[in-house]
A and B are shown apart, each in its own frame.
Chain A
Amino acid sequence: MPKSTLFVVTDELRCVLDALPAIPPKSCLDPLRPFILHLRRDGRTYRNIQQILADECDVRVHHETLRRFIKSRSKPRKPKLELEFEREQPKSSASPQPVDQSTASGKRLSPEERAAQVEFIRSLNKPASQEQPARPRWNLDVDKPRTIHKP
């Protein structure tokens, strides 16, 4: 009897699954998701993040869109349904599960996510624009005698 979350998949269905194309990102913000969530967890406002995205990543979205995106993407997702393939031997619960080393210590980025990160980091390396000129420093000449100004 399969567990409630375990679905037995036939060979035909497995072929269908393998042939399915990857789901394209639902939002233009998807590739920037880790970056956006990081900014939000840093305590930045939606309007602030909106400005950063516009300035640094050339992505223009309404702050309300950003709010909805963050709300929906930061909810814990339901775990994926476990699929059991018909021809696979049942695994002993004591046997170690194969672990993909690339994800064992952290999420592996997609090439698009990585390209967005590289672009963002490069944008940080640009010289700051239009720095305010520093106010000239006032120096006191202690050797100069003080004078009383009479109107």
Chain B
Amino acid sequence: MATAAPLIEMTGREAQPTSRIAFLQGGKGGVGKTAFATMLIEWYRTKGAPVALIDMDSENKSRGSLGHFFPDARKVNIQRARGLDDFVDVLDQGAPIVVADMGAGAGEVAHQWFDSMHEQAKDSGVAFTAIGLVTPDPASVSSVLAWGNFLENRVDYLIVKNAISNPADFSCWENDPAAIEFRRLAQPKVISMEYRLPEIEHEAREHGLTLQAVAERKTTVPALKSTASVWRAQAYRRHIFTELETVKDLLLL
């Protein structure tokens, strides 16, 4: 049986990418990586953009992982010699956009993989968007800066200011000299994710429900069926979708 031709184009560097990998930087846990990933995926799907999902978060419990929300997410263990080669495998199946949720401890693996594979990927028209989440916790800022230190200018950066408290104080991200220098050199695009009521977010996560499911009343969970919860979910989606529209050039082709 003849093998199908690879779908990743090998036509040299192009001005416009033919594939994009948007990956959530691992590192600091509990900053809302998976929560943002679910909303990003909903945004793609609402637009009708086909997207393949990779769940690389090996530390996240089954209830908090990407696969819990999206059963079609491909679970990958990155603690192997082939590192992030699953990116290539998924692209080779034809998916023009891949969303990968990396877990804590992915830094070293990603570092090695980018050093050895990034040039080939770039030559094949693959663009990368590194998504970092910052919270009021300075450790989240350190994590984003550490990733930026080794990814350098090989990726586009999207920073999400996740308000995990109300009000949220991002003074570390705003004022830390290293963060200022990172913003000046890497020129990341920055969006914000508004504060979400824990009773909605935790309950939805517990039941593997996306905000879309809550917003469209596709749940039997009592706490998420109330009109207030539905309206909240709709508002959260509307807000983050509006934010994502402002950075769509980093997320589409």
- Per-residue contact bits, chain B 37-57, to A (CB 8 Å; 1 contact, 0 not): 000000001111110100000
Give complex CA distance A30, B181 in Å. Answer: 50
**CB-contact partner of B18 in A103, A110, A118, under 8 A:** A118
Q: Distance (Å) between the CB of A102 and the closest chain B CB?
A: 6
Give complex CA distance A4, B196 in Å. Answer: 59
Q: Distance (Å) between the CB of A85 and the closest chain B CB?
A: 12
Is A101 part of the contact surface with B, judged by Cβ < 8 Å?
A: yes
- Per-residue contact bits, chain B 62-88, to A (CB 8 Å; 1 contact, 0 not): 000000000010100000000000000
Task: Among A109, A110, A118, A125, find the residue whose CB has the most chain B CB atoms closer than 10 A.
Answer: A118
- Contact yes or no, B92 A122, CB < 8 A: no
Total B residues in contact with A, Cβ cutoff 8 Å: 26
Task: Among A101, A103, A111, A114, find the residue whose CB has the most chain B CB atoms closer than 10 A.
Answer: A114
Residues of B within 8 A of A35 (CB): 48, 50
Closest to B20 in A: A121
Residues of B within 8 A of A38 (CB): 45, 48, 50
Known: A35-B50, A38-B50. A109 touches B252 (CB 8 A): no
Total A residues in contact with B, Cβ cutoff 8 Å: 25
Task: Among B46, B72, B253, find the residue whose CB has the most chain A CB atoms closer than 10 A.
Answer: B253
**CB-contact partner of A113 in B19, B45, B47, B94, under 8 A:** B94
Is B93 part of the contact surface with A, judged by Cβ < 8 Å?
A: yes
- Per-residue contact bits, chain A 108-137, to B (CB 8 Å; 1 contact, 0 not): 111101100110111011000000000000
Is B4 part of the contact surface with A, judged by Cβ < 8 Å?
A: yes
- Contact yes or no, A121 B97, CB < 8 A: yes
Known: A124-B47, A125-B253. A102 touches B92 (CB 8 A): yes
Main secondary structure of the interface of B (DSSP, over half): loop
Residues of B within 8 A of A125 (CB): 248-249, 252-253
Give complex CA distance A118, B248 in Å. Answer: 15
Is B108 part of the contact surface with A, judged by Cβ < 8 Å?
A: no
Residues of A within 8 A of B97 (CB): 121
Known: A121-B49, A124-B252. A109 touches B72 (CB 8 A): no
Known: A102-B4, A106-B72. A117 touches B50 (CB 8 A): yes
Is B228 part of the contact surface with A, judged by Cβ < 8 Å?
A: no
Known: A52-B48, A106-B52. A118 touches B96 (CB 8 A): yes
Residues of B within 8 A of A39 (CB): 48
- Contact yes or no, B96 A117, CB < 8 A: yes
Instruction: Give me 4 other A-B pairs in contact (C-beta within 8 A), A109-B93, A120-B49, A122-B252 excluded.
Output: A105-B93, A108-B4, A121-B49, A124-B252
Instruction: Point out residues on B near A: beta carbons under 8 Å.
Output: 4-5, 7, 16, 18-19, 45-50, 52, 72, 74, 89, 92-97, 248-249, 252-253
